[in-house]
Structure 1
Amino acid sequence: MRRADRLFQIIQILRRTKLPVTAARLADELEVSKRTVYRDLADLAGQRVPVEGEAGSGYRLSEYYDFPPLMFTPDELDALLLGVELVQRLPDATLVNNAKDVLSKISSVIPGKLQSVLNPSAVALKPEEPIATKTDTRQIRAAIRDGRKLLIEYRSADGTLSKRVVWPIVLGYDQTHCLLIAWCEKRESFRHFRADRLVSLLLLNECIDTDRKVLRSRWEEWREAELLRLREIKLLGGL
């Protein structure tokens, strides 16, 4: 790794954590000696990069340091490409288009010497059958971000239609389904709704009176309890 690339990577490592990072950890990730790390840290200080800390206690960037955007490395581009390809496989029409826009923006700003990293890429996912139905989730994501309730009409697995007001928490994905995870006022409990079974939805003006982080934390606790209950049922069934 070139010295300039190594200095850039040290800053990146320090940026992604609020806790001090030891020279040993930096050396391990960069695959260099601690002596080289100390020399690089001194070079960064000489370039007025505010690295705080000392040997033995660890280092971190000053919270007041405003670091401008930097160019991607080839490895970072590989990670981004895989991420974009994964999103393009989701059953979500709008996020698929957003992923394409992201890739287009990246391609338009990187220099020519990195264009070969994008085309052809060094990484790829195994080809899979395309998903027939992709849901438009723009209103759902807007409701989650704004903390607003949704009125949905939902078709269950047996074809039954129901209307209910829900508090959207998060959209969950696997390779075939998109799930709206929400608190259901009708059932007074958390429920998972398949997005492709939403017949209609209306973004209400009524705001959710519970903080989004608190609501998500409660759902995570409920989910853990449900998983534990299902495991117990499975164990009892095997006795």
Structure 2
Amino acid sequence: MSRSERLLNLLQVLRRHRRPVSAQTLADEMTVSVRTLYRDISSLKAQGAEIEGEAGVGYVLRPGFVLPPLMFRSAEVEALMLGLRWVADRGDPALADGAREAATRIAAVLPAALRRELETSALLVGASARSSVDAVGFELLRTAIRSGRKMRLLYRDKHDANSERVVWPFALVYFEEARVLAAWCELRADFRNFRADRIARIELLDELAPRSPEMMLNDWRRALQASGRTILPEPDSAPL
């Protein structure tokens, strides 16, 4: 392991500890000597990391520090590039643009060697098997989730029956063959999943949902676990 990788690992270890942790404990987690640990702590402090504490007392990293320039392992660079390429290829236009812009921004602050790895990554995204077409604006769906606002949907179910729903959206699930909006449905008084390719019209309402998206997401996951289903259900697995 290179010294830069070791420093990055030490930052990650410190982030996991909310309270001061002894040098010996840190050294054991890093599988280095206490003397090396002290040198690494000094190096991180010299680079701007706000590490509080001292030998014999313990150390804690104050939140908010990012080690510049960005440093990743090769596998992490490949994971980033593959994920960004997937979103650029399969995301809606706004997300695709965001993925391409993120790749450009990340490349701009990487060291030269890692930047070359990012730009020449051989992990590619294959052709999509998806055949459905979404008529809705995903940017509006994401806005509703971020703001915690209600939405009115005109929805066509799997039996081709149309209905109007007022929902409290809290998540978007991206499957290979479909995109699914997870929401609390006022009509059914329960959680429901709505395939995006069956949503004919959406209207963002001014009214806030009584529960935050985070609360509903946690409740949804607990309900799925209690019923023995997966956390991310298949597109047509939930009653609509």
CA contact (8 A) 1:169 1:215 kept: yes
The question of whether the paired residues in 2 share the 8 Å contact of 1:91 and 1:134 is answered with: no
Query: Cα RMSD (Å) of the superposition?
Result: 3.3
When residues 102 and 49 of structure 1 are mapped into structure 2, their CA distance, relative to the original with a 3 A threshold, is closer
TM-score relative to the length of structure 2? 0.75
Does 2:51 match 1:72?
A: no
Deviation at 1:132, TM superposition (A): 4.0
Aligned to 1:154: 155
Structure 1 CA distance for aligned equivalents of residues 71 and 46 of structure 2: 24
Decide whether aligned partners of structure 1 residues 28 and 178 sit closer, same or farther in structure 2, where only a CA change above 3 A counts: farther
Q: How many positions carry a matched residue from both structures?
A: 226
**Consecutive unaligned residues in structure 2, runs of 5 or more:** 230-240
Matches within 5 A, 1:82-161: 82-88=82-88, 90=90, 92-122=92-122, 124-125=123-124, 127-133=126-132, 135=134, 136-161=137-162
Deviations 1:52-102, CA, capped at 9 Å, x for gaps: 356798632134x65565323353422311221333454644323321221
**Whole-Å separation in 2 of the counterparts to 1:134 and 1:26:** 52
- Tell me which amino acid in the other structure corresponds to 2:150: K
Residues 1:207 and 1:127: Cα distance change in structure 2 (over 3 Å): same
Cα distance in 2 for residues equivalent to 1:30 and 1:113: 25
- Structure 1 residues 113 and 94: CA distance shift in structure 2, 3 A: same
CA distance in 2, matches of 1:196, 1:127: 22
Do the aligned partners of 2:155 and 2:200 also contact (CA within 8 Å) in 1? yes
1-side partners of 2:8 and 2:33: how far apart?
Answer: 17
Contact 2:50–2:61 (Cα < 8 Å) also in 1: yes
Corresponding letter in the other structure for 1:70: P
Alpha-carbon separation, structure 1, partners of 2:48 and 2:128: 52
TM-superposed CA distance for 1:188, in Å, is 0.8
Going from structure 1 to structure 2, the CA distance change for 1:184 and 1:47 (only over 3 Å counts) comes to closer
Contact 1:182-1:192 at 8 Å conserved across structures: yes
Partner residue in 2 for 1:198: 199
Give, in whole Å, the separation in 1 of the partners of 2:21 and 2:127: 41
CA deviation profile, 1:13-51 (whole Å, cap 9, x unmatched):
424653556657755775644542233224445667442
Does the residue aligned with 2:153 lie in a helix, a strand or coil? strand
Bigger Cα displacement from structure 2, 206-215 vs 130-139: 130-139
Deviation track 1:160-192 (CA, whole Å, cap 9, x = no partner) reads 111110000111122222110001011111100
Query: Contact 1:91/1:177 (CA < 8 Å) preserved in 2?
Result: no
Residue pair 2:87, 2:95 contacting (<8 A) in 1 also: yes
Listed one character per residue, the Cα deviations across residues 198-219 of structure 1 (whole Å, up to 9, x for unaligned) are: 1110111111122333222222
* 1:157-196 aligned within 5 A: 157-196=158-197
Query: Which stretch of structure 1 is more off in the superposition, 131-140 or 40-49?
Result: 40-49
Normalised TM-score (structure 1): 0.76
Q: Percent identity over the alignment?
A: 38
**Matched-pair contact (CA < 8 Å) for 1:90–1:174:** no
Of stretches 128-137 and 98-107 in structure 1, the one that deviates more from structure 2 is: 128-137
Secondary structure in 1 matching 2:83: helix
